[in-house]
């Protein structure tokens, strides 16, 4: 982009807006917000933020339910040159104490029901508190309503920070990923192009807006394309199917697709107006991909990203969307697979650590220079922590988180490989393989299996089916059954929860 132009994400989004009357957001209850409305609202919010003492470079933390005002708060924060810090609505006061203490925001916006508790936490870092409820009411919108809609967007450079998103922390303490204006803008513009977004698109937006998927991928891509989005506050399968005849794109986590498939109303006809189904944030089972194609005639487009890197890879728009693969590195993104110990690049099809480099990759972890340094190679590649491979055609495959690797009797066992074999057994819906402390083996390979309704599979039958398909050291020592796997809101299986639940499985009495 032009060196003298303002690199503020807000400017890049809206400075060349040609039709302010165009629809930007429709709410679940039918309210319509145009691009012009969005810009004017963000001006009011930005003026209000400044009146509350928010300065360029300050953090504005928000733990609010999904609403248009919530999205406007993000846009206004960025517009004012401050750094937006969204927080998962599930976090308790105890957890918020850590995030607020760590990020030291100058303003915290929360649901009125939490205001009392948050006041005490915010006071410790000298932050002010405003409220915003699910209906968009609270001191924030009251204050903003009186403010001027005109606001001169703060001048920002490409590398200045626009947001800090704490990693979901399914392993270890959450870290604040620092994302710059250009990290966000460049990635969204790449996706607009790659996924062929235009102003004719209507996105069904049923993701939360405190996470990179719903906030940046879904919202920024739609806004850059001048498309429209329909905001649903949660996954409502019937509502999504109702909306399909006037929508074109759905972005979801894998749970969206498995839940939609359970609904008999999901048919070719129901999806005939849709042009694109995107999945990410957690692995989409190849089985789900195939079932979706058979039922709807659409191949789900799976992509791979993370809080720290925005989106890294995507299956192609034209060309094969391969079940179980996350596609090619996006234009401008380099990806490689290395030996986790030595960092040496591996050949095609060899499993190792996925590393990425590009304008999408974050600026480091907030106030953790040592941690940041240890996660980057000297040549600038970020070590994702995901194990995977690149196949002979160039498709990237994710095998799982490095931290989920099981080491049994000194041998590495990739849970995904065992899970794939178990999932292929008739009567199995899905499975999770974990390592559980074991006196003889260090870790015992342990499978937690969800059976299909009515399936009579027992442990012995599963072990028998695996016999001969897996090397002895990869065979589960135990197979346990569960009604469902624990997942977080982004659809990720929480293996840490399983590891805790079965920690004593092999303990000697
Ligand atoms: P988050 O930072 O919450 O977005 O989580 C990022 C992590 O989610 C990645 O490091 C991957 O482990 C996982 N992930 C995201 N997309 C996919 C995908 N399509 N397939 C498998 N894992 C994925």
Q: Which of 53-62, 337-346, 393-402 has the highest mean pLDDT?
A: 53-62
Distance of CA 379 to the CA centre of its chain: 26
What is the model's pTM? 0.91
Query: Which residue's CA is minimally distant from atom 8 of ligand 1?
Result: 281
CA 490–ligand 1 middle distance (angstroms): 9
- Say which residue, 241 or 3, is predicted with more confidence: 241
Q: What pLDDT, on a 0 to 100 scale, did the predictor assign at position 509? A: 72
Q: What pLDDT, on a 0 to 100 scale, did the predictor assign at position 341? A: 84
| Mean pLDDT in residue range 3-13 | 90
Q: Coil, strand, or helix at residue 307?
A: coil
Q: What pLDDT, on a 0 to 100 scale, did the predictor assign at position 295? A: 98
| Mean pLDDT in residue range 46-74 | 98
Farthest-apart Cα atoms in the chain, separation: 72
Which of the four pLDDT bands, split at 50, 70 and 90, describes residue 475? very high
Give me the chain's average pLDDT, please: 95
Which of the four pLDDT bands, split at 50, 70 and 90, describes residue 317? very high
Which of the four pLDDT bands, split at 50, 70 and 90, describes residue 26? very high
- Say which residue, 132 or 410, is predicted with more confidence: 132
Give the position, in ligand 1's atom list, of the atom nearest the Cα of 167.
Answer: 2
- Which residues lie closer than 8 Å to 206 by C-beta, 6 or more apart? 232, 233, 234, 235, 236, 240, 250, 252, 256
User: In whole angstroms, what is the distance from residue 308 CA to residue 368 CA?
Assistant: 14
pLDDT at 4 over 80: no
Q: What pLDDT, on a 0 to 100 scale, did the predictor assign at position 440? A: 84
CA 175–ligand 1 middle distance (angstroms): 16
In Å, how far are 208, 448, 473, 479 from 412, measured between CA atoms?
36, 19, 9, 19
Q: What pLDDT, on a 0 to 100 scale, did the predictor assign at position 357? A: 98
Q: What pLDDT, on a 0 to 100 scale, did the predictor assign at position 169? A: 60
Give the position, in ligand 1's atom list, of the atom nearest the Cα of 213.
Answer: 4
Q: What pLDDT, on a 0 to 100 scale, did the predictor assign at position 460? A: 97
CA dihedral 34, 37, 43, 44 (to 10 degrees): -140
pLDDT digits (tens, 9 = 90+) for 418-431: 999 999 999 999 99
pLDDT at 208 over 70: yes
pLDDT at 489 over 70: yes
Of the candidate ranges 44-48, 264-268, 291-295, 341-345, the one whose mean pLDDT is the lowest: 341-345
Instruction: Write out 345-412 in H/E/C secondary structure.
Output: ECCCCCCEEEEEECCCCCCCECCCHHHHHHHECCCCCEEEEEEEEECCCCCEEEEEEHHHCEEECCEE
pLDDT at 171 over 80: no
Residue with tokens 């002895």: 472
CA 468–ligand 1 middle distance (angstroms): 31
| Mean pLDDT in residue range 211-228 | 98
**Which of 281, 395, 399, 432 for a ligand 1 pocket mutation test, highest count of atoms within 8 Å of Cβ?**
281
| Mean pLDDT in residue range 339-353 | 94
Query: Which residue's CA is minimally distant from atom 23 of ligand 1?
Result: 282
Q: What pLDDT, on a 0 to 100 scale, did the predictor assign at position 403? A: 87
pLDDT at 216 over 90: yes
Q: What percent of the chain clears pLDDT 90, i.e. is strictly above it?
A: 90
Q: What pLDDT, on a 0 to 100 scale, did the predictor assign at position 1? A: 53
CA dihedral 321, 323, 326, 331 (to 10 degrees): -10
CA 280–ligand 1 middle distance (angstroms): 7
CA 382–ligand 1 middle distance (angstroms): 15
User: In whole angstroms, what is the distance from residue 487 CA to residue 81 CA?
Assistant: 35
CA 476–ligand 1 middle distance (angstroms): 25
Q: What pLDDT, on a 0 to 100 scale, did the predictor assign at position 172? A: 59
Q: What percent of the chain clears pLDDT 70, i.e. is strictly above it?
A: 98
pLDDT digits (tens, 9 = 90+) for 278-287: 999 999 989 8
**Which of 325, 386, 493 for a ligand 1 pocket mutation test, highest count of atoms within 8 Å of Cβ?**
386
Residue with tokens 């800090």: 164
pLDDT at 439 over 70: yes
User: In whole angstroms, what is the distance from residue 318 CA to residue 501 CA?
Assistant: 44
Check if the beta carbon of residue 25 is closer than 8 Å to that of residue 228.
yes
Query: Which residue's CA is minimally distant from atom 7 of ligand 1?
Result: 306
Residues with CB under 6 A from ligand 1: 167-168, 212, 280-283, 302, 304-307, 326, 384, 386, 398, 401, 490
CA 117–ligand 1 middle distance (angstroms): 32
What angle (nearest 5°) sits at the alpha carbon of residue 226, between those of residues 222 and 230?
50
Any alpha helices (H) in 59-180, and if so which ranges? 68-79, 93-103, 115-124, 139-145
pLDDT digits (tens, 9 = 90+) for 228-268: 999 999 999 999 999 999 999 999 999 899 999 999 999 99
Give the position, in ligand 1's atom list, of the atom nearest the Cα of 168.
Answer: 3
pLDDT at 170 over 60: no
pLDDT at 442 over 90: no
| Mean pLDDT in residue range 372-396 | 97
CA 398–ligand 1 middle distance (angstroms): 9
CA 409–ligand 1 middle distance (angstroms): 29
pLDDT at 478 over 70: yes
pLDDT at 3 over 90: no
User: In whole angstroms, what is the distance from residue 499 CA to residue 509 CA?
Assistant: 19
pLDDT digits (tens, 9 = 90+) for 354-370: 999 999 999 999 999 99
Considering only CA atoms, which of 162, 163, 217 is closest in space to residue 192?
A: 217
Give the position, in ligand 1's atom list, of the atom nearest the Cα of 165.
Answer: 2
Query: Which residue's CA is minimally distant from atom 15 of ligand 1?
Result: 281
**Which of 277, 285, 306 for a ligand 1 pocket mutation test, highest count of atoms within 8 Å of Cβ?**
306
CA 470–ligand 1 middle distance (angstroms): 26
pLDDT at 72 over 80: yes
For residue 241, count other CB atoms closer than 10 A to its CB. Answer: 17
Q: What pLDDT, on a 0 to 100 scale, did the predictor assign at position 76? A: 99
pLDDT digits (tens, 9 = 90+) for 103-123: 999 999 999 999 999 999 999
Query: Which residue's CA is minimally distant from atom 20 of ligand 1?
Result: 283
**Which of 163, 211, 305 for a ligand 1 pocket mutation test, highest count of atoms within 8 Å of Cβ?**
305
CA 483–ligand 1 middle distance (angstroms): 24
């Amino acid at each position: 982009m032009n060196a003298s132009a303002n690199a503020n994400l807000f400017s890049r989004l809206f400075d060349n807006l040609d039709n302010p009357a165009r629809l930007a957001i429709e709410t679940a209850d039918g309210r319509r917000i145009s691009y012009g409305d969005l810009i004017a609202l963000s001006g009011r919010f930005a003026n209000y933020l400044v009146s509350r003492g928010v300065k360029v470079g300050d953090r504005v933390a928000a733990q609010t339910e999904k609403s248009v005002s919530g999205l406007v708060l993000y846009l206004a924060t960025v517009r004012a040159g401050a750094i937006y810090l969204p927080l998962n609505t599930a976090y308790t006061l105890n957890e918020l104490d850590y995030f607020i203490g760590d990020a030291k925001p100058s303003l915290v916006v929360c649901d009125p029901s939490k205001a009392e508790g948050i006041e005490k936490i915010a006071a410790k870092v000298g932050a002010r508190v405003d409220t915003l409820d699910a209906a968009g009411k609270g001191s924030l919108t009251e204050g903003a309503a009186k403010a001027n809609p005109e606001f001169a967007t703060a001048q920002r450079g490409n590398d200045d920070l626009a947001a800090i998103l704490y990693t979901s922390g399914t392993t270890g303490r959450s870290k604040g990923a620092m994302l710059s204006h250009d990290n966000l803008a460049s990635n969204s513009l790449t996706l607009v192009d790659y996924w062929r977004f235009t102003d004719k698109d209507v996105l069904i937006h049923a993701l939360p807006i405190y996470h990179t998927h719903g906030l940046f991928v879904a919202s920024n891509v739609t806004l850059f394309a001048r498309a429209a989005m329909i905001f649903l506050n949660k996954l409502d399968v019937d509502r999504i199917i109702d909306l399909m005849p006037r929508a074109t794109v759905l972005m979801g986590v894998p749970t969206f697709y498995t839940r939609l498939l359970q609904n008999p109303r999901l048919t070719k006809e129901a999806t005939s107006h849709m042009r694109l189904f995107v999945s990410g944030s957690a692995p989409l089972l190849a089985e789900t991909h195939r079932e979706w194609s058979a039922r709807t005639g659409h191949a789900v487009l799976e992509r791979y990203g993370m809080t720290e890197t925005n989106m890294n890879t995507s299956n192609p728009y034209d060309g094969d969307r391969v079940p179980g693969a996350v596609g090619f590195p996006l234009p401008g993104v380099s990806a490689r697979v290395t030996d986790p110990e030595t960092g040496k690049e591996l050949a095609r099809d060899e499993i190792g650590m996925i590393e990425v480099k590009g304008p999408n990759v974050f600026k480091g972890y907030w106030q953790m220079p040592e941690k940041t340094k240890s996660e980057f190679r000297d040549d600038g590649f970020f070590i994702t922590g995901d194990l995977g491979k690149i196949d002979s055609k160039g498709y990237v495959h994710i095998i799982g988180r490095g931290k989920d690797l099981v080491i049994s009797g000194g041998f590495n066992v990739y849970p995904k490989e065992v899970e794939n074999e178990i999932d292929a057994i008739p009567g199995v819906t899905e499975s999770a393989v974990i390592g559980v402390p074991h006196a003889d083996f260090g870790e015992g390979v342990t499978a937690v299996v969800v059976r299909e309704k009515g399936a009579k599979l027992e442990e012995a039958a599963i072990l028998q089916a695996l016999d001969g398909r897996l090397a002895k050291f990869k065979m589960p020592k135990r197979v346990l059954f569960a009604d469902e796997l624990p997942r977080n809101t982004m659809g990720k299986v929480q293996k840490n929860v399983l590891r805790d639940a079965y920690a004593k499985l092999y303990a000697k009495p």
